[in-house]
Amino acid sequence: DVKERTLIAIKPDGVQRRLVGQIIQRFEQRGFKLVGLKMLQASQDILSEHYCDLRTKPFYSSLLRYMSSGPLVVMVWEGHNVVQTSRTMVGSTNPAEAQAGTVRGDFSIHVSRNVIHASDSVEGAQKEIQLWFQSKDLLDWDCWDQTSTSE
Ligand code: DAT
Ligand code: MG
């Protein structure tokens, strides 16, 4: 599905470390299309919804504190198989296990500061996109190289 979408978020440590440009560049270079982008400091409410599946984990409260500690850059990327391909580009949850060449494998060393979020399934992505974006803020734009330029 060429219209598949996923939610990618650069976490507060990624923003603090000035990794925003390099991360966006990887997704553009791979061939995905940016359809939504915003910067915000997340509330506990939105984060508890976002991470509702993890609420019984021992690291849950420190995860929410970290995720709300500074600005996030939240994005929606679109393209063929984007959910699975971006999980591969992001790398394993624990940076110690993440391959070199992945975002986490190249930029992080500890699971509690792993730089980036990516949705883990198509259904999960749809829920997360609805949680973080209003549909009017997602742009369904045409690539010029796929559009006739003759008037
Ligand atoms: P992912 O972000 O790869 O989808 P996840 O959904 O299992 O991983 O967990 C969400 C985030 O929670 C993860 O990016 C970092 C944090 N986390 C996961 N396991 C952790 C652990 N054992 N200790 C500390 N933080 C952890
Ligand atoms: Mg996850």
Q: Which atom of ligand 1 is nearest to the CA of 120?
A: 4
pLDDT reported for residue 84: 98
Residues acting as catalytic residues: 117
How far does residue 120's CA lie from ligand 2's centre (Å)?
A: 6
Distance 135 CA to ligand 2 centre (A): 22
| pLDDT given at position 145 | 77
Q: What is the pTM of this model?
A: 0.96
**Comparing 151 with 110, which gets the higher pLDDT?**
110
* CA-only gyration radius of the chain, Å: 16
Q: Among 62, 64, 111, 117, say which to mutate for ligand 1: greatest number of ligand atoms within 8 Å of CB.
A: 111
Q: What is the ipTM of this complex?
A: 0.98
Residue type at 112 in one-letter notation: S
Angle subtended at Cα 9 by Cα 82 and Cα 21, rounded to the nearest 5 degrees: 90
Please give the DSSP secondary-structure letter assigned to residue 21.
H
Residue 26, both tokens: 């990887």
Ligand 1 binding pocket mutation candidate from 54, 68, 93 (most atoms within 8 A of CB): 93
Residue 18 annotated as binding? no
How far is the centre of ligand 1, averaged over its atoms, from the C-alpha of 113 (Å)? 9
State the Cα–Cα distance between residues 19 and 95, nearest whole angstrom.
16
pLDDT in tens, 32-65: 999 999 999 999 999 999 999 999 999 999 999 9
Query: Is 55 known as a binding-site position?
Result: no
Q: Which helix (H) or strand (E) holds 40?
A: strand 33-40
